[in-house]
Amino acid sequence: MNAFVFPGQGAQFSGMGKDLYENNPQAKELFEKANEILGFRITDIMFEGTADELKQTKVTQPAVFLHSVISAICLGDEFKPAMVAGHSLGELSALTAAGALSFEDGLKLVYARAMAMQKACEVAPSTMAAIVGLDDATIEQICAEVNTEGNVVVPANYNCPGQLVISGNVEAVNAACEKLKAAGAKRALVLPVGGAFHSPLMQPAKDELQAAIEKTEFHTPICPVYQNVDAKAHTDAAEIKQNLIAQLTASVRWTQEVQNMIAAGATEFVECGPGKALQGMIGKIAKGNDAVTARGL
């Protein structure tokens, strides 16, 4: 069984999507439609922009979404997933590729999400940090010890065994990193991000995005969609909506998602979009299981 998976923010690179645009008329039409919907030529930034220009949240999220979804659409009859999933932002790509959202509505929601998150990031200094080489339970315990009413730090992304990203106020994340290193973490690396994604600090963004999601029409997808908040398969449009609303302040349970997809019969994971980050994570999650492979398009 094949599973198509879609990457999140951080997978972007200069030149992304250019080959598709130049060599596939359908892709070109969709990219131009995206420029029209967004009101600016995102393709110019995707194809020729600097790393700094691509790092702007209002650019990054729609850029990764467009590269991912248009890649899937251009597969035509070859896009026959038994199941799909996306990491954080990638969940919207997965839902759109699987037909739960139209291309236009998916892009509009991604842009609304990006702008809402950008605003939330500006409210208070916040960040994220990757913790490598420590078990999840120890990280959860130390986050709980540091986490207070005014100092927020929580597990944000369960990426793969031995790699978990924490998220919160700058001061709380730094304090947690020191404790985690003392507890035996191989690395506790603060990431170059603009805010505390997948933490309670994203509540203003969640409130704003909820209004946009509730106004958007969702459909039954062509296959089960595994969602970040509970790592379970969903096909009911109402459930998908609620999980998508909850996602901004909840942890991304990627390790458990992939494990559940394997348990449901997935043997081949195809990363649809820029980069190879998910292939690396899936390799670590499925370590020792020779029946499972991961590749890009």
Q: Residue 253: its pLDDT value, please?
A: 98
Q: Residue 123: its pLDDT value, please?
A: 83
Please report which confidence band the pLDDT of residue 6 belongs to, taking 50, 70 and 90 as the band edges. Answer: very high
Gyration radius (Cα) of the chain, Å:
18
Please report which confidence band the pLDDT of residue 155 belongs to, taking 50, 70 and 90 as the band edges. Answer: very high
* Catalytic pick among 88, 93, 126, 199: 88
Cross-strand partners of 128 = 167
Residue whose token pair is 């997948």: 198
Average pLDDT over every residue of 19-26: 96
Q: pLDDT at residue 149 above 80?
A: no
Q: pLDDT at residue 159 above 80?
A: yes
Q: Residue 125: its pLDDT value, please?
A: 84
Q: Residue 234: its pLDDT value, please?
A: 98
Please report which confidence band the pLDDT of residue 130 belongs to, taking 50, 70 and 90 as the band edges. Answer: very high
Cross-strand partners of 164 = 131, 158
Please report which confidence band the pLDDT of residue 124 belongs to, taking 50, 70 and 90 as the band edges. Answer: confident
Q: pLDDT at residue 122 above 90?
A: no
pTM: predicted TM-score of the whole model, two decimal places: 0.95
Among 63, 23, 20, smallest CA distance to 40 is for 63
- A 10 A CB-CB count for 237 gives 15
Longest dimension (CA), the chain: 55
Average pLDDT over every residue of 174-191: 96
Residue 230 or residue 151, greater confidence: 230
Q: Is 88 a known active-site residue?
A: yes
Two structure tokens written together for 200 = 């309670």
**Out of 117-126, 216-225, 280-289, least confident range:** 117-126
Q: Of all residues in the chain, what percent carry a pLDDT higher than 70?
A: 100
Q: Of all residues in the chain, what percent carry a pLDDT higher than 90?
A: 90
* Catalytic pick among 68, 71, 126, 198: 198
Do the beta carbons of residue 128 and residue 159 sit within 8 Å? Answer: no
Domain annotation for the chain: domains and CATH numbers: 2-121+200-296 (3.40.366.10), 124-190 (3.30.70.250)
**Out of 1-5, 58-62, 145-149, least confident range:** 145-149
* Mean of all residue pLDDT scores within the chain: 95
Q: pLDDT at residue 260 above 80?
A: yes
User: CA-to-CA distance for 223 and 3, rounded, in angstroms?
Assistant: 10
Q: pLDDT at residue 264 above 90?
A: yes
Q: Residue 150: its pLDDT value, please?
A: 81
pLDDT tens digits along 61-101: 999 999 999 999 999 999 999 999 999 999 999 999 999 99
Please report which confidence band the pLDDT of residue 58 belongs to, taking 50, 70 and 90 as the band edges. Answer: confident
Do the beta carbons of residue 71 and residue 20 sit within 8 Å? Answer: yes
Q: pLDDT at residue 173 above 80?
A: yes
Handedness of CA 220, 81, 234, 11 (dihedral sign): negative
User: CA-to-CA distance for 14 and 49, rounded, in angstroms?
Assistant: 6
Reduced to 3 states, what is the DSSP secondary structure of residue 168?
Answer: strand
Q: pLDDT at residue 273 above 80?
A: yes
pLDDT tens digits along 223-237: 999 999 999 999 999
